[in-house]
Amino acid sequence: MPKQGLRYAAKVDLKKEAYDQPQLHNRWHPDIPFCGTIKNNEVVKIQCVDWTGGQIGNNDSADDVRDVDLTRVHYLTGPFEIETAEPGDVLVVEIQDVQPLQEEPWGFTGIFAKDNGGGFLDEHFPKAAKAIWDFEGIHCSSRHIPGVRFAGLIHPGILGCAPSPEILATWNEREGALIKECSHMGRDVALPPLAKNVHVGHGDDKIKEQVGKEGARTIPGRPEHGGNCDIKNLSRGSKVYLPVHVKGAKFSVGDLHFSQGDGEISFCGAIEMAGEITIKFTVMKGGVEHLAMKSPIYIPGPVEPQFGPGRYIYFEGFSVDEKGKQYYLDTTVAYRQTCLRVFEYLRRFGYDDYQIYLLLSCAPVQGHVAGIVDIPNSCTTMGLPMDIFDFDIRPEAKPEKRDLGSCAFVSS
């Protein structure tokens, strides 16, 4: 039988509040009701709002980024009932395509203010900032970061199946323990359940109340189901293998990215967008045991922007922080240092620090764990592709300070 155009398992309406759309939700909880049903082996399209649910505008001010309401994020589409899926199965999710919405060919990258969200380098760059990206087919460019253009490796930042009650309890317990343990740190180290702005699709008030009390926040990825992994090469043609924890799987997806750099360092760091994703769902019965699976696995698609290995400049960082303090095999410190090395390098060409911060978050930079055993220093590297720049950034090039404009900052 000839193949027809695909059905939409869910659509979104960008003119309506995300909060009012019953096919969206913003917490992980087993009791959020299904928003639709998908057959085993079916292929469907699913539309998604951007992760903030439309809080960020296509304009030249970062006020919206500064004032973003993080109690509302992420808005995910789902949860979907996948027929025949049961706990212990693996849900095989083939991402056949991901696209921006035709009528909205743009996205944004944000730097959250240190006191509202923050990011990997908020000690160094505490202000809010923003870049708008225009999509030009597979490429994108930004009026806020002139001189660069690159092809996106488009992907969903979040996908996963709902936790079982037991897993949810584990999450709350272990993250709660961390919050207690780190109360002296004076910053959020994890986000506990929060009733404010909970959205449970078409769930009733009772469910909303319970999810408000217990529902897991969507910010972190978690080993048991994946979730917010922000993996830059989970793109078109990829297959993800997700453990199923509740009957019907309760699969959700969202947080679409046009492109992201390894680490997504500014937190709102990918090129965030609304869009639609085409997925084939297949249930692998008993897959969790068969694959000895504790966390999701995936196989990327065969199609990636290719620069050639010799077209990257690599930077190195170690477990010694910018004040000269030595850490013991701390790979997070090493990666932060690696990032800072790129700032020092790119500044010479005329970019502002916030432009660089935005760029490293969303451009296809390669972040590698190089060595993790040579005590006391982890060594990480970041590969910066030279070919995304329209001027020569090789070490041999003269680093003339160009006039490279500015990203969007807060007004006043």
Contact call for residue 103 and a second copy (CB under 8 A): yes
**Which of 74, 67, 330, 364 is CA-nearest to residue 221?**
74
Contact pattern from residue 38 through residue 77 relative to a second copy, giving x for each residue in contact according to CB under 8 A and a dash for the rest: -----x--------------xx------------------
Alpha-carbon dihedral 134, 135, 140, 146, rounded to 10 degrees: -20
Q: Going by C-beta distance under 8 Å and a sequence separation of 6 or more, which residues neighbour residue 177?
A: none
Q: ∠365-371-376 over CA atoms, to 5°?
A: 120
- Interface with a second copy (CB under 8 A), residue from 31, 214, 264, 353: 264
The residue among 197 and 233 lying less far from a second copy, judged by its C-beta, is: 233
The residue among 14 and 209 lying less far from a second copy, judged by its C-beta, is: 14
The answer to whether residues 314 and 382 touch, using CB atoms and an 8 Å cutoff, is: yes
The answer to whether residues 50 and 56 touch, using CB atoms and an 8 Å cutoff, is: yes
- Interface with a second copy (CB under 8 A), residue from 82, 132, 253, 359: 132
Fill in the DSSP letter of residue 103. Answer: T
Q: How far is the CB of 330 from a second copy (least distance, A)?
A: 6
What is the three-class DSSP state of 130?
Answer: strand
Q: How far is the CB of 405 from a second copy (least distance, A)?
A: 16
The runs of H, that is alpha helices, within 161-229 are 165-181, 205-214
Q: How far apart are CA 135 and CA 141, in angstroms?
A: 7
Question: Which residues, 179 to 198, sit near a second copy by CB under 8 A?
Answer: 182, 185, 188-191
Q: How far is the CB of 163 from a second copy (least distance, A)?
A: 14
Contact call for residue 91 and a second copy (CB under 8 A): no
Question: Which residues, 2 to 21, sit near a second copy by CB under 8 A?
Answer: 2-6
Question: Which residues, 226 to 255, sit near a second copy by CB under 8 A?
Answer: 226, 228-233, 236-237, 241
CB neighbour burial string for 45-60, b if at least 16 within 10 angstroms, e if fewer: bbbbbbbbbbbbeeee
- Interface with a second copy (CB under 8 A), residue from 14, 194, 329, 410: 329
Contact pattern from residue 283 through residue 312 relative to a second copy, giving x for each residue in contact according to CB under 8 A and a dash for the rest: -x--x--xxxxxxxxxxxxxxxxxxxxxxx
Question: Which residues, 109 to 128, sit near a second copy by CB under 8 A?
Answer: 119-120
Q: How far is the CB of 219 from a second copy (least distance, A)?
A: 5
